[in-house]
Amino acid sequence: MLGFIVQAVVTAIGLWASAKLVPGVEFTSTGSLVAAAIILGLVNAFVRPLMVILTLPLTIVTFGLFLLVVNAAMIGLTAMFLGGFVVDGLWAGIGAAIVTGVVSWIAGALFGGMADRA
């Protein structure tokens, strides 16, 4: 459970950074940002694995770059579920996926080994 909470916080930070850096990604309130992080975590846990399997041939042909589109689609799906979160088009979704992924990668590099030390 603690891992899900930490991942939700990291995702919220990534989505916040996306809203600041990527045109077309917006939140109406802090509550919608937190809700988007939780919903995106659930979408990534249940829907994304199915999408990765279904799009595997295209992902192989594009040397993995199609996963950006899958991640953008998961962010767009989250925005569809939540009224206070707006992603204006595919390019905004891809930008948000890149920013969120970079933030998750940095957090994993900084704090990933802490679980091993505890």
User: Which residue, 24, 29, 109, is CA-closest to 75?
Assistant: 24
Q: What is the pTM of this model?
A: 0.90
The greatest distance separating any two alpha carbons of the chain, rounded to the nearest whole angstrom, comes to 42
The answer to whether residue 118 scores a pLDDT higher than 80 is: no
Q: How many CB atoms lie within 10 A of CB 98?
A: 17
Categorize the per-residue pLDDT at 114 as very low, low, confident or very high, splitting at 50, 70 and 90. low
Digit-coded pLDDT (tens) for 34-88: 999 999 999 999 999 999 999 999 999 999 999 999 999 999 999 999 999 999 9
Query: What is the phi/psi pair of residue 91, to 5°?
Result: -65, -35
Q: Say which residue the tokens 């109406």 belong to.
A: 28
In this prediction, residue 111 carries a pLDDT of 83
* All structural domains of the chain with their residue ranges: 8-99
Burial degree of 34 (CB within 10 A; 0-12, 13-18, 19+)? middle
Yes or no: say if 28 and 84 are a contact pair by the CB < 8 Å rule: yes
